[in-house]
Amino acid sequence: GENVEQHPSTLSVQEGDSAVIKCTYSDSASNYFPWYKQELGKRPQLIIDIRSNVGEKKDQRIAVTLNKTAKHFSLHITETQPEDSAVYFCAASDGTGTASKLTFGTGTRLQVTL
């Protein structure tokens, strides 16, 4: 089955700096890669996703890149703000059909300091 590894487990940046979180996956058949943000005690919320037919996607201060050959994808947050502080999870879909389970990384706790 799919295995997703995520690094780093914790990340502290100063407000205004950039943050990068990296994930690798094992199943070459995976073709959908979402990123979720989870604040303390709340539900995971989808912030951006990418499909395997594109290499990069951007939404305001958030971007995701995908390298299918190397089987890794990354989340980039620019101009970080205190409200970006949360736990971020990457995930990969096993690619079977239009709806399928996600395998999640272990999460990155991002702390944005003033």
Partner 1 sequence: NAGVMQNPRHLVRRRGQEARLRCSPMKGHSHVYWYRQLPEEGLKFMVYLQKENIIDESGMPKERFSAEFPKEGPSILRIQQVVRGDSAAYFCASSPSKGYTFGSGTRLTVV
Binding site for partner 1 (CB under 8 A): 1, 32, 34, 36, 42-46, 49, 89, 93, 98-107
Shorter beta-carbon distance to partner 1: residue 10 or 81: 10
**Shortest Cβ 17–partner 1 spacing (Å):** 25
**Shortest Cβ 99–partner 1 spacing (Å):** 4
Shorter beta-carbon distance to partner 1: residue 41 or 114: 41
- Angle (CA) 101-58-22 rounded to 5° is 55
Spacing of C-alpha 97 from chain mean position: 22
Determine how many CB atoms are found less than 10 A away from the CB of residue 56.
13
**Shortest Cβ 101–partner 1 spacing (Å):** 4
Shorter beta-carbon distance to partner 1: residue 9 or 28: 9
Continuous segment of H or E residues that includes residue 86: strand 86-93
